[in-house]
Amino acid sequence: MNSKSEVYIGIDVGKESLELSSGQEGKTRRYANTPQGVGQLVEEMAPFKPRKIVLEATGGYERHIVQALQQAKLPVCLVNPTRVRRFAAASGRLAKTDAIDAQVLAQFGQAMRPMVTKPKEGIVEELDQHLGRRRQLVSMITAEKNRLALAGPGVRDDIEYHLAILKERLERIEAKLLALVQSEPSCQRRMDQLCSVPGVGPVTALTLLAEMPELGQVNRQQIAMLAGVAPLNHDSGKRRGKRRTYGGRSGVRSTLYMAALSASRTNPVIRPFYQRLVANGKEKKVALTACMRKLLVILNAMARDQKSWNVA
């Protein structure tokens, strides 16, 4: 790596290894994705004072390296893999290896200058992990219920037994989530503020606390883009295509959908907004998406206005 100029680092994260590139063609370095390997990578990288260190979100394998880089006060950027793949295709990089992916990530950082990912403070990281487990349990419960509807007498007892276990584990996870929030007064205060909005329940509030740390710190357009509920134009010449939402944080988006569904019936602001859209000919699904965006904007504005929101 050349320390005389700005250095942009790309790290391709795998289950067992970390492939590092400074963007120079053909020059990569591999580290084990273990505590020792992560420590060596951070130690060797720190003297170069990189401008950006870019990694893709990989479903959890990146967690330890991101935390280590943040603790070392290095500018790590966790980016959406879809953006990187499209950047690679636009750059003519169609082949895919760990080394090529690391080089593309470094080049993406230099060209696109992504935002630095802020470290999760307090209990947010633990909340995030428990919420992930809760989603897994909910998914398994749904799958088992679907199987039960089609099951013959020979396996019904087994499915019902498994369902009972899964529901008991779900209750424990939810109790643990609430206990975590209660253990930190500032987090409890934020949750109470979010839940004061009709349509927003504990699961939605917990999801926003854990997965939208930007809430209250960015404007309405930015928060909508982060959640994937911002309408995107699809126009060409005189043709005006339908605006669609795309990308964003899937966990936040799915939780917001259920909150908007509830708010469309109970919230004094969202309910007439939804009814007006439907009366004007909007499809109900489109109207609900607009309600998701409006609800999130309301919550973001509330978080910005609350002086106590960012007080530990």
Domain ranges of the chain: 8-112, 123-183, 185-312
b/e sequence 112-135, b meaning 16+ C-beta within 10 Å: eebeebeebeebbeebbebbeebb
What is the Cα–Cα distance from 175 to 48, expressed in whole angstroms? 45
What is the Cα–Cα distance from 138 to 158, expressed in whole angstroms? 18
Distance of CA 251 to the CA centre of its chain: 7
More confident site: 151 or 121: 151
Segment 156-182 shows an average pLDDT of 95
Each residue's pLDDT tens digit, 31-45: 999 999 999 999 998
* pLDDT, position 41: 94
Specify the CATH number of the domain 8-112. 3.30.420.40
What length does the chain have? 312
Per-residue confidence band for 47, with pLDDT thresholds at 50, 70 and 90:
confident
What is the Cα–Cα distance from 207 to 226, expressed in whole angstroms? 14
Percent of the chain with pLDDT strictly greater than 90: 65
Please say whether the beta carbons of 77 and 115 come within 8 A: yes
What is the Cα–Cα distance from 218 to 215, expressed in whole angstroms? 7
Place of tokens 């499915």: 159
Per-residue confidence band for 312, with pLDDT thresholds at 50, 70 and 90:
very low
H or E segment to which residue 10 belongs: strand 8-13
* pLDDT, position 2: 46
What proportions of the chain, in percent to the nearest 5, are helix, strand and coil? 60, 10, 30
* pLDDT, position 58: 82
Each residue's pLDDT tens digit, 204-229: 999 999 888 889 888 999 899 889 88
With H, G, I as helix, E, B as strand and everything else as coil, classify residue 133.
helix
Segment 250-275 shows an average pLDDT of 94
The pair of structure tokens assigned to 215 is 């809430």
281: left (phi over 0), alpha (psi -120 to 50) or beta: left
What is the Cα–Cα distance from 166 to 172, expressed in whole angstroms? 10
Could you tell me which of 59, 311, 280 has the C-alpha nearest to residue 188? 311
Segment 286-304 shows an average pLDDT of 93
